[in-house]
A and B are shown apart, each in its own frame.
Chain A
Amino acid sequence: KNQVEQSPQSLIILEGKNCTLQCNYTVSPFSNLRWYKQDTGRGPVSLTIMTFSENTKSNGRYTATLDADTKQSSLHITASQLSDSASYICVVSAWYGNNRLAFGKGNQVVVIP
């Protein structure tokens, strides 16, 4: 069973609109949660990293939130641009272990003019 579930699997939004992506996880004990953006044909690029004590972190038009009690995170994209078309991957790390990260399958976002 995947420890990181993302929804929706895919969505299409109009340029200029906002959207929110969801990530639910079961990883425990929790250390940190990261959001990555992956453009087609490229490697993932880090957007945000949040620890247990952080509930919001922004990177330009991207704002991530974290509720460690309910084990949920969201990534909000404001005023979407065509360049936001990508897969957004939620990655969760446990507090122990030897480098095992739990990866979600990604939210595929397509921004249309």
Chain B
Amino acid sequence: DAGITQSPRHKVTETGTPVTLRCHQTENHRYMYWYRQDPGHGLRLIHYSYGVKDTDKGEVSDGYSVSRSKTEDFLLTLESATSSQTSVYFCAISESKGNHKGYGYTFGSGTRLTVV
């Protein structure tokens, strides 16, 4: 999607190893989010950021950490990957809070992570 890039697109890693996923935006949007998507579940929020070095936890944050040292980059780290973290991870950006009527989210194309 224009303006937001996720890398890598696919990754296979071993249990117990650290993994970092990257989200890069060119829209200069203040808010950035990490979601995971699993069969039988809606998208679930892992962490989000409302500015450089300002982050907060979502509903499924255990085992994940994030960092945002620049407006354009939001990193998601799995500290010690487990099989339960096998999922598709989506980054999203928005100009304003999610509950603001005028602003939608733009999602990246996703990262498919497999932990073996």
Show the binding face of A for B, using Cβ within 8 Å.
2, 4, 31-32, 34, 36, 41-46, 49, 51, 89, 93-106
Which positions 34-78 of chain B face chain A at CB distance < 8 Å?
40-45, 48, 50, 56, 58-59
**Chain A, Cβ-Cβ closest to B94:** A99
- Cβ-defined contact, A101 with B98, below 8 A: yes
> Per-position contact with A for B24-38: 1 when CB-CB < 8 Å, else 0?
000000010100000
- Cβ-defined contact, B42 with A105, below 8 A: yes
**Cα-based distance from A41 to B109 in the complex (angstroms):** 7
Chain A residues whose CB sits within 8 angstroms of the CB of B84 once the complex forms: none
- Cβ-defined contact, A43 with B108, below 8 A: yes
- Cβ-defined contact, B99 with A96, below 8 A: yes
- Cβ-defined contact, B110 with A42, below 8 A: yes
Chain A residues whose CB sits within 8 angstroms of the CB of B56 once the complex forms: 98
**Chain B, Cβ-Cβ closest to A50:** B101
Number of A-B contacts (CB under 8 A): 70
**A-B contacts, 21 listed (Cβ < 8 Å):** A31-B99, A31-B100, A32-B99, A32-B101, A36-B107, A41-B110, A42-B109, A42-B110, A43-B92, A43-B109, A43-B110, A45-B1, A46-B104, A93-B98, A96-B99, A98-B97, A99-B33, A99-B97, A101-B98, A104-B42, A105-B42
**Cα-based distance from A19 to B97 in the complex (angstroms):** 32
**Cα-based distance from A42 to B104 in the complex (angstroms):** 17
**Cα-based distance from A102 to B45 in the complex (angstroms):** 9
**Cα-based distance from A87 to B106 in the complex (angstroms):** 16
**Chain B, Cβ-Cβ closest to A52:** B101
